[in-house]
Amino acid sequence: MQAIVGGTAPQPARLAAARGLLPLPQSDLLEVLVALRHNEDDEIAEAANETLEAQEAKDLLIAAKAEQTSAAVLGYLATSTKVDREVHEAVALNGRTPDEGIAVLAGATSNGPLLELLALNQQRLVRAPAIIDAILANPARTSESERRARETRREFFEKERGARQIADELRARGKTAAAEFFESAELSLSSGALSADDAWLIAEHIEVSDADIDESWLPAERYEELLIESLDQRTANMQSVIKSEELEGVSISPERVSMIRRIMFMTPKDRMKLGMKGDREARGILIRDSNKMVACAVINNPRVSDQEVEGIASMRTVANEVLRLIALNRNWARQYPVIHSLVRNPRTPLPTAISIIPRIRTKDLITLSQNRNVSEAVRRQATRIAEARSGR
């Protein structure tokens, strides 16, 4: 079979194969016939085409469904106008069918349900956008196949072009850090929660380049916490951030609310990256994010200041994981205002607060022992250490 397909077999053997006279398994026979139908010898090519057209529908259907069928045979079945509808449907579902063949099928078929089947395979559409074009140009397309094809084009191609255009313009303006962000962002720029105007506004709050980011703090197993959120989850997150700022006395202007909305409607991965790259205003919003990984990204921003960390350490709405990481940072743990804020914060994990207490000044321990906002365990430990220091 290899000699026939490769053209090294004698002409009589190739002609016999083209006429279906050789004792080959059905799968091998189809592969040989598909290869010979374009043979330079007209007699062989014509015989191969005739033999192919004479194949029984059931044999072609078996080949269309089989995983071991060669890509060349599947491509032929996809582009042939003389095979049954069931064969085309089986070819559409076979992962080995060449994308080029599926694109031809999408443009030629008059079968509306088949176009819907093709439009369902988003992975193939993304890999071969010519299939999207073929579906949308086919007059036999159904409303469902058109909807799915357009959604895939918008999500994976129009969005990408929008982000790339914005990145190019930002780079031309010297805003390298913002350009780097949008080159890998998952923002919906052409539709959905974020518009191009939203993206431009966010770009103004990005100040850290990729070269200055250290992502070693984020273990691979934590990436599952950055899964896509629903619209309801993003809306709840936005409202939680606004309420948190109100409780802490932050002035909430209409412009501030608009900025929070823009950021909270980004994907979790984009918010995490913005937390590591954003300026102080962006960090102030994202530190209140309900997603722990996003909030933790803020304190891993190389521009975060000691003053910001001190403020974060006293926040009653921040994730306890953030407070734990602040306590583990040697530089911040050496600053008394930071550890004093941590030990007074009821959100600080109990083991972390207990480990900090021995470093608290005696007069502050006495105050802490009477602080009803912290846990009883913290108050007891503060009392115990304060009494030990006074010799009681």
Domain assignments of the chain as residue spans, ordered by start: 305-392
Task: Decide if pLDDT at 267 tops 50.
Answer: yes
**For the segment 155-171, what is each residue's pLDDT rounded down to a tens digit?**
777 666 677 788 888 99
**For the segment 184-243, what is each residue's pLDDT rounded down to a tens digit?**
887 654 445 567 778 888 999 999 999 999 888 877 667 777 777 888 888 899 999 999
Reported confidence tier of residue 149, pLDDT bands at 50, 70, 90: very high
Q: Measured between alpha carbons, how far is residue 182 from residues 243, 273, 275, 296 in Å?
A: 29, 10, 14, 21
Q: What is residue 166's predicted lDDT score, i.e. its pLDDT?
A: 84
Best CA proximity match to 188, nearest among 212, 146, 214, 160 = 160
- HEC-encoded secondary structure of the chain: CHHHHHCCCCHHHHHHHHCCCCCCCHHHHHHHHHHHCCCCCHHHHHHHHHHHHCCCHHHHHHHHHCCCCCHHHHHHHHHCCCCCHHHHHHHHHCCCCCHHHHHHHHHHCCCHHHHHHHHHCHHHHHHCHHHHHHHHHCCCCCHHHHHHHHHHHHHHHHHHHHHHHHHHHHHHCCCHHHHHHHHCCCCCCCCCCCCHHHHHHHHCCECCCHHHCCCCCCCHHHHHHHCCCCHHHHHHHHHHHHHHHHHCCCCCCHHHHHHHHHHHCCCHHHHHHHHHHECHHHHHHHCCCCCHHHHHHHHCCCCCCHHHHHHHHCCCCCCHHHHHHHHHCHHHHCCHHHHHHHHHCCCCCHHHHHHHHHHCCHHHHHHHHCCCCCCHHHHHHHHHHHHHHHCC
Other C-beta atoms lying within 10 Å of the C-beta of residue 315: 18
Cα 181–chain centre separation? 14
Average pLDDT over residues 307-312: 96
Structural tokens at position 277: 């790259």
Phi, psi (5° rounding) for residue 206? Answer: -115, 125
Average pLDDT over residues 96-124: 95
Average pLDDT over residues 118-124: 93
The highest-confidence range among 22-26, 194-198, 329-333, by mean pLDDT, is: 329-333
Share of the chain above pLDDT 70, in %: 96
Q: What is residue 289's predicted lDDT score, i.e. its pLDDT?
A: 95
Burial of 337 (C-beta count, 10 Å sphere; 0-12/13-18/19+): middle
Which tops the pLDDT comparison, 153 or 109? 109
- Which residue type occupies 381? Q
Q: Measured between alpha carbons, how far is residue 56 from residues 51, 79, 85, 136 in Å?
A: 10, 17, 14, 33
Reported confidence tier of residue 392, pLDDT bands at 50, 70, 90: low
Task: Decide if pLDDT at 330 tops 90.
Answer: yes
Residue 249, phi-psi category: left (phi > 0), alpha (psi -120 to 50), beta (remainder): left
Long-range contacts of 353-360 (CB under 8 A, 24+ apart): 353/378, 354/378, 354/381, 355/327, 356/327, 357/381, 357/382, 357/385, 358/385, 360/385
Phi, psi (5° rounding) for residue 278? Answer: -80, 165
